[in-house]
Structure 1
Amino acid sequence: MADSKPEEVAAKLEATKITDASAAGTAPAKEGKGKKGEKGGKGGKGGDAAGGKGGKGGKGKDSGANFNINLVNAVDGQVVTRFPPEPSGYLHIGHAKAALLNQYFAQAYHGKLIIRFDDTNPSKENVEFQDAILEDLELMGIKGDVVSYTSDYFDVLYNYMIQMIKDGKAYADDTPVEQMREERTEGIASARRERTVEENLKIFQEMCDGTEEGLKNCIRAKLSVTSPNKALRDPVMYRCNLTPHHRTGTKWKVYPTYDFACPIVDSTEGVTHALRTSEYRDRNPQYEWVLKAIGLRKVYIWDFSRINFVKTLLSKRKLQWFVDEKLVTGWDDPRFPTVRGVRRRGMTIEGLRKFILSQGPSKNILNLDWSLIWATNKKEIDPKAPRYVAVLDNNKVKITIEGGPAVPFSEDKPKHKKNAELGTKKIVYSSEIFVDQDDAQTFKDGEEITLMDWGNAILKTIHKDGDIVTGIDAVLNLEGDFRKTEKKVTWLADTPELTPVDLVDFDYLITKDKLAEEDNVRDFVNPNTEFHSAGIADLNVRDLKEGDIIQFERKGYYRLDKPYSESTAAVFFTIPDGKVVMKYGAKK
């Protein structure tokens, strides 16, 4: 059974107020001149809120996006928005945009945000997904004034459907699915469209009882047969499902569709403005028709473009397929566009929020490259990521340094030369050091190079086996001028404290920029998406904790996914920097 009632939800909405606008990373716009022609406009250039009649306008703070979208009849202090995820998968970045924008406008107008779970399909939904969505939203600083469930309103929705049937605005239909789809496409009326009210009510009861006859039927809105907008061609409003519901158990055997439930619950809960992605645009007239057919209060709709990325799936059904096929480790796989997936790859909450807000509520549909979001993230992590050193195992080269210390010693150096607050790290100095083979192959006999965080050295002899450098003899030259050397290289002292590391890079899960609706995802699976490079890192890496974000100098940014232990190497995931996606190519 539902653990809250519609009247309780309404009471919570009335009692709660948003008091901390900073939670969204934005503050309400200050009083100022609105755009010309607006009534009672607040906020001018540089303001935070959306434009609209009696509302606010300007550009989003620190985002560059234009939030002046003319939010119709938005009254300060009375705006209520909602974010209605279905608990059938984990939150992905497309959902995150919808959640952030709905919170943004609720707070900009000193209003309220409802988080409502659209739990109308028990076959796909469960508590795991529900709890994970709430956790991810909270991590992003998104917390609704009220958390509700469409299942709170199953009785209300049932009664409204009875009313629609009695008013002759809905009918029961047992047309087979494929035939129904074909008839809707061709504009052919169902043979069941003219059933009597009494017959429709009787069959709806059969559906509610889950009888054999009831299971053959669905309830369709009696809206239109030939409308140019095919979303209006008698859409399905109720269907049977005998799967127990994760909140209401076996009480119900019929469930409303999203298209029927959403407008009713929006209006019932006091939502004033429904901000949702443009994929629903053709269904907006259907949303409005439902409210008019029942006689409920109007809700204003604003649709914005969804976030689309090249070679990326945002369909929960297709993402679930990857999970079921064990092509990924789970919903938090670093190749997944879920909030948990991109965070595990190294995306920061700050970077994710700033990128989404930079897109704003525009209606323009774009297929974005991932480099844009990772470039935003780089700006967040670069000032705070400690610097360490790693050398790849693949043919690493030992340099023997004449004049180097007879006994290894260590010195404390800043973890970040531009951020002293990060503290210090230990650098070990020795007469034998390792460098990457790629660096060694660029060296020339007699060349002077700079060993970073140490000084210059002159390369006396470079030993080779074919094209592979097998060793180098050098002379330390601390009096040398680093400004005159062409090559500044990272290195590691050959001592027992070196830490084994596994540097992991990833490629896209699919090979096509954008899958068409008729495409079978199986045909576009990328067979090689995970690449490992073994290496060694400095002793400081042993102290890092899971989730720490660092930079291996001259290699890139990394997130520690599995800390070092005596039996396993430390596993680091590469964090794209907005420039290069693949840095290493050693296949798993």
Structure 2
Amino acid sequence: MDIEETIYKYALTNAVEHGNSCQTGSVIGMVMSRHPDMRKDPKTVSQLAGKLVAKVNAMSPENQQEELDKLGGLEERKKQEEKPKGLPELENAEGKNITLRFAPNPSGPLHIGHARAAILNMLYKQKYDAKLILRIEDTDPKRVEVDAYDFIPEDIKWLGIEADEIYTQSDRLDIYYEYARKAIEIGAAYMCTCDGGDFKKLKDNCEACPCRSHSVEENLELWDNFDSMKEGEAVLRVKTDINHKNPAIRDWVAMRIVDYEHPRLGNKYRIYPMMNFSVTVDDHLMGMTHVLRGKDHLANSEKQRYLYEHFGWEVPEFIHYGRLKMDDVLLSTSKAREGIADGTYSGWDDPRLGTIRAIARRGIKKEVLYELIEEIGPKQADATISWKKIYGLNRNIIEEETNRYFFIPEAVKVDIEDLPDDMKQLSVKRELHYNQPEKGFRTLNFKGTAYIPKDDYDIAVNKNKPLRLMDLVNIKIDENTCRYESASLEDAQEKHARIIQWTPTQDSIKACVVMQDNTKVNGYIESDAKELKVDDRVQLERFGFARVDSVSDDEITFYYTHN
């Protein structure tokens, strides 16, 4: 299928799916996203799309459908219609007021793995008009990063997660103490003073420790004196099945002493709940109906069922999903922290990291993550996300909304000799977006000298290759001179000239682009870029998409998004 037939097919598809009328911009977007090779010649694509859209819009609905079917569009659309869309239904959700929770540990900022849990819960909130609770789980003072108390709300806001209620577990320690005491009183838990090693030997042999047979009164006395004990001297255990096939489930620890200053509480408390105890208490008190969590929590879910049964509480539906991996990116919070400390990474938003703030700083749209997570869903199979997939989805979104500018990486100044008099001062107008003339134009005022990319300069010199400055002139460069050859685009095409971006030397602005590997590319950008604001997304022609990170009087800094 040649380029014209391909565009014709997409124009017909767009028309049939949208009331028998197609839009040029939508057709170009479909073509560019699904046929990357056609991005090399956007003008041809744009011209053909305009012509073919007019042709399709002049057809009757019957003719449009007939033509599309001839090109195989009918079968393609049927496949798309047969493919199930959206998330699967939650089990036992009918007739219930659904309550969900996103419960991160504040060990650092959120990364794309956390985004899966956050977005899945948000999507189900929207699907069921559910209540969504954000709960910061910070009951292990050794695993708390104080900055994360600010990072998490910021990341949540960027992701568009709308929590109905927000809790921090370190504010609720007295509640956990209350339920720990109740667990002792009903015989569901006991104070254990066994040496850790001795208990493990007994547990591994399916034998109960002597403490398990203590009376409620003995356990309450130990509990009341717990705070005066040394770390490791005693723990509170929940009674389970001492013969359980998984030793980790057998009489798990509910409360322990941690002599470590808590970032929020200081040294006010020494007794902290283990995650399985605090989570179970909170999930019950907060009315959780469905819990979405990674399959690495399968054993934890089983542990928690024992506590639910002891208290006679209704067990929520546990939905366990697979691990989320990402190619060529670091998701480990501990390793990232080490790298930041030793200078390997510039911070939590270093573009090499998989944190939400790093992804946001690069200009990736949150809608991309929503589309990815919805597609993966809550299935138990592990999933891998590639940058290629993220870039493709993001490109589909920002292609139509980003203005174009000339950025000259590692700029080389050329003084063009032998220019005709009528070309020594020219104003070149280029559309901000080739397919959206309503966006307006930018103007480059040429006065005989220009900045061009060093790579193109070197090719022109070393390979004796002519260059065409876009919409301006054709030039020939040797080691000493840069000479005007002609103004004709046809001449440039006949000689296979490289068609390159350029900026006038007299009013260009310094620019720096921070790349994916955190290296910097310095250069110049055209003067109309002075109107850009922080967070604007742009397409730097022949270079790639980028997000504006900072703007000063004499320089603009961008973060590279993708090509």
TM norm. shorter chain > 0.5: yes
1:486 equivalenced with 2:496 (yes/no): yes
Q: 1:497 aligns with which of 503, 507, 526?
A: 507
1:475 equivalenced with 2:485 (yes/no): yes
Q: CA deviation at 1:95?
A: 1.5
Whole-angstrom CA distance in 2 between matches of 1:120 and 1:130: 13
1:572 equivalenced with 2:561 (yes/no): no
Q: CA deviation at 1:277?
A: 1.7
Q: Is contact 2:429-2:441 (8 Å) kept?
A: yes
Whole-angstrom CA distance in 1 between matches of 2:266 and 2:466: 75
Whole-angstrom CA distance in 1 between matches of 2:246 and 2:172: 29
1:146 equivalenced with 2:165 (yes/no): yes
Q: CA deviation at 1:496?
A: 2.4
Structure 1, 553-562 or 193-202: larger mean CA deviation: 193-202
Task: Give the corresponding residue for 1:361.
Answer: 378
Whole-angstrom CA distance in 1 between matches of 2:336 and 2:213: 41
Q: 1:271 aligns with which of 271, 288, 296?
A: 288
Task: Give the corresponding residue for 1:111.
Answer: 130
Q: 1:194 aligns with which of 212, 216, 233?
A: 212
Task: Give the corresponding residue for 2:313.
Answer: 296
**Amino acid in structure 2 at the alignment position of 1:555:** F
Alignment of 1:68-217 (within 5 A): 69-76=88-95, 78-125=97-144, 128-151=147-170, 153-174=172-193, 179=197, 183=201, 186-187=204-205, 189=207, 191=209, 193-194=211-212, 196-197=214-215, 198-207=217-226, 209=227, 211-213=228-230, 216-217=233-234
- 3-state SS of the aligned residue for 2:91? coil
Whole-angstrom CA distance in 2 between matches of 1:540 and 1:192: 79
Q: Is contact 2:411-2:452 (8 Å) kept?
A: no
Q: Mark the CA change 1:123 to 1:487 in structure 2 (over 3 Å): closer, same or farther.
A: same
Whole-angstrom CA distance in 1 between matches of 2:438 and 2:369: 24
**Amino acid in structure 1 at the alignment position of 2:557:** V
Whole-angstrom CA distance in 1 between matches of 2:219 and 2:481: 86
Whole-angstrom CA distance in 1 between matches of 2:545 and 2:214: 67
1:121-152 superposed Cα distances (whole Å, 9 cap, x missing partner): 23443664234322322232211122223345
Q: Is contact 2:276-2:303 (8 Å) kept?
A: yes
1:457 equivalenced with 2:474 (yes/no): yes
**Amino acid in structure 1 at the alignment position of 2:166:** V
**Amino acid in structure 2 at the alignment position of 1:435:** I
Whole-angstrom CA distance in 1 between matches of 2:515 and 2:230: 55
Task: Give the corresponding residue for 1:521.
Answer: none
Q: 2:339 aligns with which of 322, 327, 333?
A: 322
Q: Mark the CA change 1:485 to 1:219 in structure 2 (over 3 Å): closer, same or farther.
A: farther
Q: CA deviation at 1:183?
A: 4.4
1:532 equivalenced with 2:520 (yes/no): yes
- 3-state SS of the aligned residue for 1:417? coil
Whole-angstrom CA distance in 1 between matches of 2:464 and 2:177: 86
Whole-angstrom CA distance in 1 between matches of 2:149 and 2:543: 39
Q: Is contact 1:77-1:111 (8 Å) kept?
A: no
Q: CA deviation at 1:272?
A: 0.7
Task: Give the corresponding residue for 1:550.
Answer: 538
1:300-341 superposed Cα distances (whole Å, 9 cap, x missing partner): 111122421134333333333333334323323322222111
- 3-state SS of the aligned residue for 1:501? strand
Q: Is contact 1:401-1:432 (8 Å) kept?
A: no
Structure 1, 315-324 or 187-196: larger mean CA deviation: 187-196
Identity %: 27
Q: CA deviation at 1:262?
A: 1.2
Q: Mark the CA change 1:433 to 1:217 in structure 2 (over 3 Å): closer, same or farther.
A: same
Count of residues in Structure 1 that have an aligned counterpart in Structure 2: 481
Structure 1: gaps (5+ residues): 1-60, 465-469, 508-529, 578-588
Q: TM-score, with normalisation over the residues of structure 1?
A: 0.73
Whole-angstrom CA distance in 2 between matches of 1:471 and 1:278: 66
Whole-angstrom CA distance in 2 between matches of 1:222 and 1:312: 42
Q: Is contact 1:180-1:190 (8 Å) kept?
A: no
Q: Is contact 2:474-2:485 (8 Å) kept?
A: yes
- 3-state SS of the aligned residue for 2:97? coil
Q: Is contact 2:87-2:377 (8 Å) kept?
A: no
Q: CA deviation at 1:481?
A: 6.1
**Amino acid in structure 2 at the alignment position of 1:339:** I
Q: 1:560 aligns with which of 529, 542, 548?
A: 548
Task: Give the corresponding residue for 2:301.
Answer: 284
Whole-angstrom CA distance in 1 between matches of 2:116 and 2:85: 15
Alignment of 1:390-405 (within 5 A): 390-393=407-410, 399-400=416-417, 402-403=419-420, 405=422
1:151-183 superposed Cα distances (whole Å, 9 cap, x missing partner): 454333222222323444333345566x37964
1:385 equivalenced with 2:402 (yes/no): yes
Structure 1, 189-198 or 156-165: larger mean CA deviation: 189-198
Whole-angstrom CA distance in 2 between matches of 1:153 and 1:241: 16
Q: Is contact 2:475-2:482 (8 Å) kept?
A: no
1:395-449 superposed Cα distances (whole Å, 9 cap, x missing partner): 6665545226565343443211123354332212233333324324444999765
Could you say which structure has the higher helix fraction? 2
- 3-state SS of the aligned residue for 1:104? helix
- 3-state SS of the aligned residue for 1:115? strand
Q: 1:331 aligns with which of 336, 344, 348?
A: 348
- 3-state SS of the aligned residue for 2:381? coil
- 3-state SS of the aligned residue for 1:410? strand
Q: Mark the CA change 1:479 to 1:188 in structure 2 (over 3 Å): closer, same or farther.
A: closer
Whole-angstrom CA distance in 1 between matches of 2:544 and 2:307: 53
Q: Mark the CA change 1:185 to 1:215 in structure 2 (over 3 Å): closer, same or farther.
A: closer
Q: Mark the CA change 1:379 to 1:368 in structure 2 (over 3 Å): closer, same or farther.
A: same
**Amino acid in structure 1 at the alignment position of 2:562:** P
Q: TM-score, with normalisation over the residues of structure 2?
A: 0.76
- 3-state SS of the aligned residue for 1:506? coil
1:256 equivalenced with 2:242 (yes/no): no
1:408 equivalenced with 2:425 (yes/no): yes
Q: CA deviation at 1:533?
A: 2.5
